[in-house]
């Protein structure tokens, strides 16, 4: 099991299956690789109880295409 801080992702595309992800460093915007680019998530003030404990919630902001 990872010892890295974790976050819960909210929103974004349906095909994004991984909803609990490591965050390094905590409190910064997340970028998750998906669909030829990445999904951006921003930290919220909310926390939610999950099977991995009480985690900060990051909400989806946008999909950004990979630079060519």
What are the Cα distances from residue 47, in Å, to 4, 15, 56? 17, 23, 4
Q: What is the pLDDT of residues 13-60, one digit of tens each?
A: 999 999 999 997 777 899 999 988 999 999 999 999 999 999 999 999
58 contacts 7 by C-beta, under 8 angstroms: yes
Q: What is the pTM of this model?
A: 0.86
DSSP state of 67: P
> What count of other Cβ atoms lies within 10 Å of the Cβ of residue 10?
14
β-bridge pairing 20-22 and 53-65 = unpaired
Q: Where are the domains of the chain?
A: 6-65
């Amino acid at each position: 099991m990872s010892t890295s801080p974790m976050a819960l992702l909210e929103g974004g595309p349906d095909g994004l299956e991984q909803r609990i992800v490591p965050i390094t460093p905590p409190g910064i915007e997340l970028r998750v690789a998906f669909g030829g680019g990445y999904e951006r998530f921003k930290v919220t003030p909310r926390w939610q109880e999950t099977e991995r404990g009480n985690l900060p919630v990051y909400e989806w902001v946008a999909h950004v295409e990979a630079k060519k």
